[in-house]
Chains A and B, each alone.
Chain A
């Protein structure tokens, strides 16, 4: 449709056109889905006299380039940074300091404004590598309240063999579920109840004599898996492994959503859908900024319940929380949020890597508060323990 509209692109100066292309690229780097059609339509907007007013241009480009609410919320910041020449550094500090930004934990780390596509994440990581990695490990015991802005590079921690195994395991879990679904489909093919209305309808060509019968069958939705991964300092030994597991789950499951939390919650499914594991994990390591900081399980769950639960949870959803239960927030808060979550979904699975340790008992206050609402409390310190989940998931 939009292709049929003829516009006088020449009236837009070369500089402006380049700038728009750069803006589109910046948006893409920030996870916006901006295609050629959108860029072309953006150019069409630039040809208009109204586009000279910055506010009108902003509103128009926002409508055009945004596709989700999180896009919508981040757009202004990126727009200002790009068109009004504020540097990336400044924007970063803005994210940390503005109250709205920290209140809506959904907002991911500050926008990247820069030329590169894959080059940039590397930069950012190297930036924090010096203290980030060391910190991530050093803070294993003491959780701090501050977002640790350095991002730990997850890529180099894990052994390639483990990676392959984790991915294979995740897709095997998915296959188990799929096999089950096919079997159900076949049973349904015949249906249980006769659909009288459709039957008559279908047999109009036979003069109304019911020759072909139409059946009604219940549509069974596939199981959806929602994973909430604790990426805090106390979990740092396991985070990298589970990030890869998440990637496998999101890639292989028909319906899966992934979230990462520490002091804030971030929705990471979109970045995990990248086929390239390394790139996806890289991108995630940027989002999981704050790794090595404290854990606010209760608040992260509250964010999840308030903003995401309605969308990602249906009647056939299992929620999997991967965390050690060391919460620096109020246990009461955690308990009430677990209760809210419990009301929504059919199963809550809590995976705790510490269960694998000898003599472990769930004494952490957070863990104590959450346990009454958990259906399955299972260890997750190695691949076998994850594989042991298969039969349980298949039963849901």
Chain B
């Protein structure tokens, strides 16, 4: 067995992390750097909660970039089982091997030994995450969509970092991944899992931060437009909408506006209203934000 890599030697200080977040292009809010640093210091996973579209997944990507580590992502869904999350045998190849070897007259136990070896094992995200040489960042996305049973299994994995495969034996972690879990709150996740994790509530970015995000992510946009866009989106979020636009929608909208060569929202109210399809994704919301409403908001923010 390979020795566990000691992660503490690589621990970055909190200020290092916030500096590096900036260099990898992630516009961080004040406290996220602390949370990311605590993950290393206390060796706990980080649970991110927040509405859809606030940029939870981005945090994990930024974390991977900060540590220059691989990002392994497990998207959870209802009915996700261990086979899809952990490992599976490549049974087509196994069957093929059985047939050919039978034809060659090999004896049964030798065949069995052969087909249940590493070669026929398919790694799924969780197994992959603990078998890497360098600790990767493991993103367990939307953990609330998975079933309770899977959550219990996850809890076990996160405390032991070892997996038993009946045909192969126990696989111990060669490196302990940094684990980020995200939840949209479609189901209450268990207290045990919550307690195991550090917690960070991700909110929609405030206007200044969102303007910075737009500037970083949208090439060829000018300062004033970015700020105007961010303020407009902030005002729209305050309206009573069924689906509040997320950061990705803001970026789409900003890119659209920049692409249409607009420099001042006030100068083109009809374009503003028409391009709002980037932000509003239901018929109801679209009807609610009529031209009058959009003009009123525009008058307030711009």
- Hey, which bits of chain A sit against chain B, CB under 8 A? 1-2, 4-5, 33, 35, 37-38, 41, 44-45, 48, 50, 55-56, 59-60, 62-64, 66-69, 71-73, 200-201, 204-205, 207-208, 219, 310-312, 314
CB atoms of A310 and B14 under 8 A apart? no
CB atoms of A5 and B43 under 8 A apart? yes
The one of A55, A64, A200, A201 in contact with B42, judged by C-beta atoms closer than 8 angstroms, is A64
- Nearest 3 pairs of A and B residues by beta carbon: A67-B194, A59-B34, A59-B31
B87 at the A interface (CB under 8 A)? no
Q: List 20 A-B contacts (CB under 8 A).
A: A1-B43, A1-B176, A41-B42, A44-B41, A56-B34, A60-B38, A62-B31, A63-B198, A63-B200, A64-B42, A64-B199, A66-B201, A67-B191, A67-B197, A67-B199, A69-B49, A69-B201, A208-B95, A311-B186, A314-B187
- Hey, which bits of chain B sit against chain A, CB under 8 A? 8, 14, 30-31, 34-35, 38, 41-44, 46-47, 49, 79, 89, 91, 94-95, 98-99, 102, 112, 115, 159, 176, 184-188, 191, 194-195, 197-201
Residues of B close to A5: CB separation below 8 A? 8, 41-43
Residues of A close to B8: CB separation below 8 A? 5
Residues of B close to A64: CB separation below 8 A? 38, 42, 198-199
Residues of A close to B30: CB separation below 8 A? 55, 59
Residues of B close to A35: CB separation below 8 A? 195
CB atoms of B35 and A71 under 8 A apart? no
Closest to B49 in A: A69
CB atoms of B31 and A63 under 8 A apart? yes
Q: In the complex, A45→B34 CA distance in Å? A: 11
Q: In the complex, A63→B195 CA distance in Å? A: 11
The one of B159, B186, B197 in contact with A310, judged by C-beta atoms closer than 8 angstroms, is B186
Closest to B197 in A: A67
Q: What is the predominant secondary structure among interface residues of chain A facing chain B? A: helix
CB atoms of A63 and B95 under 8 A apart? no
Using A5-B43, A45-B38, A310-B185 as known contacts, list a sample of 5 further A-B pairs with CB atoms less than 8 Å apart, ordered by residue number in A: A35-B195, A55-B30, A63-B35, A201-B89, A204-B94
Q: With A33-B194, A204-B94, A208-B95 as given contacts, are A2 and B79 in contact (CB-CB < 8 Å)?
A: no
Residues of A close to B31: CB separation below 8 A? 59, 62-63
CB atoms of A63 and B89 under 8 A apart? no
CB atoms of B195 and A204 under 8 A apart? no
Q: In the complex, A349→B170 CA distance in Å? A: 51
The one of B35, B43, B95, B186 in contact with A59, judged by C-beta atoms closer than 8 angstroms, is B35
CB atoms of A204 and B42 under 8 A apart? no
Q: In the complex, A201→B95 CA distance in Å? A: 9
Q: With A59-B35, A63-B35 as given contacts, are A1 and B195 in contact (CB-CB < 8 Å)?
A: no
CB atoms of A311 and B195 under 8 A apart? no
Q: With A56-B14, A59-B34, A69-B49 as given contacts, are A2 and B191 in contact (CB-CB < 8 Å)?
A: no
